[in-house]
């Protein structure tokens, strides 16, 4: 794909802004305002939509490294576990589905985090949650500024900010079961005009699954490194401005597979793995450069600009066929039978190198202006991304002694050999103003997108000449939103909103049909002292819903990355959340947090789809992989010297294929209740020791049925750690 937005031009544009004349500002600007959803420009308690902030204090309570455990505290958010460690999350909101977080907008520091958010939304990357400083979640009509997917909601992860002190930092060390280990350290500070921070986050585990007959590592090893430098204009300058440079690198090796277990093997040993999966391994690396600039043009007008470059490589080397059978068409059963009784015979195993490179880059800018009671925001983003699939298959023989022999080495580019790309322009305007006790938000977003698929086929790995297929598509969308809050008392407000939802079709969408919906919400929010309450009812009326075909949903190899259209879908539900802290004598406090989500999501038309989890659909069929009820409850006891917290997560029965009525056993993920425990003891003001027990009651539960096979969630595991801050 031709690169239209080179980093050199973007950097020149940002740095050139430093020389633009402006009027002096007496109020210091903060570059973080360009990265956050909530802040002085959008207070959390006044947001006209379902809004939640997971603070540093909240993150420290349980010390989770798994983003899916962290997000389970937020109502209206669904998580589907897979590997047990949260390396490749499946996150959805308000009935959108969770598959590879494809239907929500995920950002880090206000920038799209997916490797190719337009060209390949269902990607196998997610920012490392354990290094984040806070997490913002926003749903509803006030998400109009954040796209391209505006139906479900937004998750914005805030990375380590530069400390305000001259020098500050932290070291956090942890060890646990199954070879788990974590090292997290950062240090930095702020000078008169220059501030900086550097951070390293490494964690690993040997895994909780055992490969039949051969053993071996089924865990992972992942490292993130981050550095930021911020330059601030001199106090004597005509105006105040800041320029921040962010550099990030991460790499991961995880010994994961898509070969689950048969019903019989899951019942007898849910934490086993078939020997045919022992070579399965994913290797990834991610590089990021981000330049953020903010300038105060006047006390009422500011301009924030971010240029970004993300390069992501991954190769998931995993079994694709067993004795010529795909995993979803008898391959799993063949692997199971071989481990049960090899009979002196060998097993042929095709291992596919799912090798892909992703690129995402662009520039986005927002002008904020305050005129009386009106707070205006004008935004623009120029973006391009691509996914380059260059894959091959190696053929092996697995002997009855479980020894491997390479029979035929594949040639790179002879399996899947194509490039999916997208170019997008997004523009929005938003006005937030007050009329008496009413706070009104009105916005309009415009997306103009071009997609392309170049496919050279399996016989032209050198990509000589024109591709076999050159599929282009272009489309645009105009998306209005209107929301309001009514401040009834100082503590109580009513909120309501309506918004046109949108998701762009991927290059693999044969008809090029956009996802479109009208979304409505109505609720209230109450905050008084130690008590907070929020209740929001939502309804989404889809004209067309997308479904992306991935290996995570058991799709056949030839259908991977295709996108399918479901037509009309109705989603309605209710989100409840509350928090209260009881203060007892003796300085003991008892914090309580509860969140509940009810969802009713049904197809509103009849159709037949090659997308396996849909299949032949009748009107009124329920959507797959969506629980009707979810409940989270956290109770604790704490003093200045110690904390003890217990979190309980309940998830209702889930069907893995569209249907109605009782769920067939082979399509059922049974309801589960998972309990986590956290204990902390503070040694003075800057040190602590902590203990964490995940799945305290050791419930053996099912997470997914990929390729018709079953995966188990992580069993009970313990970890202990030590943290020192300076």
Concatenate the DSSP letters of all residues of 442-486 into one string. EEEEEEEEEEEEEE--SS-TT--SS-SEEEEEEEEEEEEEEEEEE
Percent of the chain whose pLDDT exceeds 90 = 81
Q: Does the CA dihedral 129-130-132-135 come out positive or negative?
A: positive
Task: Please give the biggest Cα pair distance in the chain.
Answer: 83
The Cα–Cα gap between 653 and 671 comes to: 4
Determine the pLDDT at residue 562. Answer: 81
- The yes-or-no verdict on residue 20 having pLDDT over 90 is no
Q: What is the pLDDT of residue 6?
A: 41
| Residue 586: strand, helix, or coil | helix
What single-letter DSSP state applies at residue 276?
G
Mean pLDDT of 405-413: 97
Q: Are 150 and 479 in contact (CB under 8 A)?
A: yes
User: Could you tell me if 147 and 502 are in contact, meaning their C-beta atoms sit under 8 angstroms apart?
Assistant: yes
Long-range contacts from 52-58, C-beta under 8 angstroms, 24+ separation: 52/136, 52/137, 52/138, 52/577, 53/134, 53/135, 53/136, 53/137, 54/134, 54/135, 54/136, 54/137, 55/134, 56/133, 56/134
Residue in this structure with the two tokens 């008809």, named with its chain if needed = 511
Question: What is the pLDDT at residue 21?
Answer: 34
Tens-place pLDDT, residues 685-694: 899 999 999 9
d(CA 105, CA 634): 27
Range of lowest pLDDT (41-55, 64-78, 184-198, 568-582): 41-55
Confidence of residue 142 (pLDDT cuts 50, 70, 90): confident
Does residue 626 surpass a pLDDT of 50? yes
**In this predicted model, which residue has the larger pLDDT, 39 or 313?**
313
Least confident of 46-50, 71-75, 256-260: 46-50
pLDDT of residue 432: 95
193: left (phi over 0), alpha (psi -120 to 50) or beta: alpha
List Cβ neighbours of 291 (8 Å cut-off, separation of 6 or more): 10, 11, 14, 243, 244, 245, 246, 306, 307, 308
Q: Is the pLDDT of residue 427 over 70?
A: yes
Spatial contact of 64 and 70, defined as CB atoms under 8 Å apart: yes
Answer yes or no: is pLDDT of 576 > 90.
yes
Quote the pLDDT of residue 4: 46
On whether the CB atoms of residues 82 and 704 are closer than 8 A, the answer is: yes
pLDDT digits (tens, 9 = 90+) for 513-530: 899 999 999 999 999 999
Residue 59 has pLDDT above 70, yes or no: yes
Alpha-carbon torsion (142, 145, 150, 153), positive or negative: negative
- The token pair that represents 480 in the structure block: 């209005």
CA count, 13 A, side-chain hemisphere, 679: 6
Give residue 512's pLDDT: 82
Q: Answer whether residue 498 shows pLDDT above 80.
A: yes
- 210 half-sphere exposure, CB direction, 13 A CA radius: 11
User: Where do runs of H (alpha helix) occur along 612-676?
Assistant: none
Cβ(318)–Cβ(326) below 8 Å: no
Quote the pLDDT of residue 121. 81
Higher pLDDT, 123 or 594: 594
> Residue 665 has what DSSP assignment?
G
Query: Could you count the other beta carbons within 10 Å of the beta carbon of residue 471?
Result: 17
Please list the helix, strand and coil fractions of the chain in percent, rounded to the nearest 5, in that order. 10, 55, 35
Q: Mean pLDDT across the stretch 329-346?
A: 93
Q: What is the pLDDT of residues 444-459, one digit of tens each?
A: 999 999 999 999 999 9
pLDDT in tens, 239-255: 889 999 999 999 999 99
Q: Exposed, middle or buried, 47 (CB in 10 Å: 0-12/13-18/19+)?
A: buried
User: Quick one: pLDDT at residue 534?
Assistant: 96
pLDDT at 365 exceeding the cut of 90: yes
**3-state class (DSSP) for residue 31:** helix
> Quick check: 16 pLDDT over 50?
no
- In the prediction, which pLDDT does 536 show? 97
Q: According to the model, what pLDDT value does residue 3 have?
A: 42
Does the pLDDT value for residue 12 go beyond 60? Answer: no
pLDDT at 13 over 50: no
Higher-scoring residue by pLDDT: 558, 293: 293
Say which range, 80-89, 423-432, 570-579, 671-680, has the weakest mean pLDDT. 80-89
Split at pLDDT 50, 70, 90, the class of 19 is: very low
What is the number of residues in the chain?
726
**Looking at residues 355-378, what average pLDDT do you find?**
96
pLDDT recorded at residue 385: 97
Has residue 610 got a pLDDT over 90? no
Q: Spell out the residues 6+ positions from residue 454 whose beta carbon is closer than 8 angstroms to its own.
A: 418, 419, 421, 467, 469, 470
Q: What's the mean per-residue pLDDT of the chain?
A: 92
Question: What letter does residue 509 receive in the DSSP assignment?
Answer: B
Q: Measuring CA to CA, how many Å separate 251 from each of 202, 220, 284, 530? A: 10, 11, 5, 42
Report whether pLDDT(414) > 90: yes
Residue 1 has pLDDT above 70, yes or no: no
Residue 394 in this model has a pLDDT that exceeds 80: yes
Q: pLDDT tier at 342 (50, 70, 90 boundaries)?
A: confident
Global pTM value: 0.93
Cβ–Cβ under 8 Å, residues 131 and 160? yes
Cβ–Cβ < 8 Å for 501, 151: yes
Q: Which has more pLDDT, 2 or 484?
A: 484
Lowest mean pLDDT among 14-23, 230-239, 270-279, 699-708: 14-23
pLDDT above 90: residue 167: yes
Kindly indicate the confidence band of residue 548, based on its pLDDT and cuts at 50, 70 and 90: confident
pLDDT of residue 31 exceeding 90, the answer is: no
Please give the residue that has the higher pLDDT: either 17 or 495.
Answer: 495
Distance CA 667, CA 654 (A): 8
């Amino acid at each position: 794909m031709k690169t239209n937005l080179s980093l050199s031009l973007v950097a020149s544009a940002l740095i050139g802004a430093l020389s633009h004349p402006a009027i002096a500002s007496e109020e210091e600007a903060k570059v973080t305002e360009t990265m956050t959803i909530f802040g002085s420009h959008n207070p959390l308690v006044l947001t006209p939509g379902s809004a939640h902030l997971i603070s540093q204090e909240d993150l420290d309570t349980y010390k989770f490294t798994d983003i899916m455990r962290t997000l389970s505290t937020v109502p209206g958010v669904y998580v589907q576990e897979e590997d047990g460690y949260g390396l490749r999350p499946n996150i959805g909101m308000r009935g959108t589905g969770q598959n590879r977080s494809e239907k929500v907008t995920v950002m880090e520091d206000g920038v799209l985090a997916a490797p190719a958010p337009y060209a390949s939304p269902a990607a196998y990357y997610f920012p490392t949650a354990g290094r984040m400083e806070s997490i913002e979640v926003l749903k509803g009509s006030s998400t109009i500024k954040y796209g391209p997917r505006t139906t479900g909601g937004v998750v914005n992860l805030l990375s380590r900010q530069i400390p305000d002190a001259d020098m500050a930092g932290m070291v956090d060390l942890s060890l646990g079961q199954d070879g788990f280990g974590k090292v997290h350290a950062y240090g930095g500070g702020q000078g008169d005009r220059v501030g900086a921070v550097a951070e390293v986050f490494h964690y690993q585990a040997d895994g909780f699954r055992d490969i039949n007959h051969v053993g071996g590592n089924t865990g992972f090893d992942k490292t993130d490194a981050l550095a930021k430098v911020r330059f601030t204009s001199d106090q004597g300058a005509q105006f105040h401005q800041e320029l921040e440079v962010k550099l990030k690198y991460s790499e991961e090796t995880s010994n994961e597979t898509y070969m689950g277990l048969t019903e019989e093997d899951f019942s007898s040993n849910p934490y086993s793995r078939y020997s045919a999966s022992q070579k399965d391994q994913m290797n990834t690396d991610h590089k990021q450069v981000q330049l953020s600039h903010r300038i105060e043009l006047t006390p009422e007008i500011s301009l924030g600009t971010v240029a970004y470059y993300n390069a992501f490589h991954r190769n998931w080397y995993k079994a694709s066929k067993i004795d010529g059978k795909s995993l979803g068409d008898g391959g799993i059963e063949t692997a199971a039978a071989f481990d049960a009784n090899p009979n002196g015979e060998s097993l042929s195993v095709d291992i596919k190198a799912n090798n892909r490179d992703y690129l995402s880059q662009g520039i986005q800018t927002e002008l904020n202006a305050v005129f009386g009671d009106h707070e205006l925001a004008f935004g623009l983003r120029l973006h391009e991304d691509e996914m380059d699939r260059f894959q091959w298959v190696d053929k092996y023989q697995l002997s009855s002694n479980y020894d491997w022999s390479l029979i035929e080495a594949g040639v790179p580019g002879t399996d899947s050999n194509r490039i999916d790309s997208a170019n997008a322009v997004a523009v929005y305007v938003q006005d937030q103003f007050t009329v008496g006790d009413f706070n009104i938000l009105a916005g309009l977003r415009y997306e103009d997108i071009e997609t392309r698929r170049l496919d050279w086929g399996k016989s032209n790995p050198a990509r000589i000449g024109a591709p076999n297929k050159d599929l282009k598509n272009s489309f645009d969308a105009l998306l209005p939103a209107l929301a309001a809050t009514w401040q009834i008392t100082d503590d109580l407000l009513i909120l309501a909103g309506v918004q046109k939802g949108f998701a762009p079709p991927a290059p693999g969408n044969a008809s090029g049909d956009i996802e479109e919906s009208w979304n409505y919400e109505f609720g209230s929010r109450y905050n008084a002292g130690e008590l907070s309450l929020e209740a929001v009812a939502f309804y989404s009326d889809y004209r067309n819903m997308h479904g992306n075909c991935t290996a995570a949903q058991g799709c056949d190899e030839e259908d991977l990355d295709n996108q399918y259209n479901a037509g009309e879908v109705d989603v309605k539900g209710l989100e409840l959340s509350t928090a209260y802290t009881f203060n007892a004598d003796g300085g003991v406090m008892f914090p309580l947090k509860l969140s509940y989500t009810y969802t009713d999501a049904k197809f509103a038309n009849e159709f037949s789809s090659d997308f396996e989890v849909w299949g032949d659909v009748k009107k009124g069929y329920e959507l797959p992989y969506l629980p009707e009820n979810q409940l989270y409850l956290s109770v604790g006891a704490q003093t200045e010297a110690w904390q003890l917290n217990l979190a309980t997560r309940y998830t209702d029965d889930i069907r893995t294929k569209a249907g109605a009525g009782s769920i067939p056993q082979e399509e059922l993920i049974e309801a589960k209740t998972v309990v986590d425990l956290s204990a902390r003891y503070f040694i003075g003001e800057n040190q602590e020791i902590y203990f964490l027990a995940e799945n305290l009651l050791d419930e053996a539960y099912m997470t997914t049925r990929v390729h018709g096979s079953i995966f188990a969630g992580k069993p009970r595991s313990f970890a202990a750690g030590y943290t020192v801050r300076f």
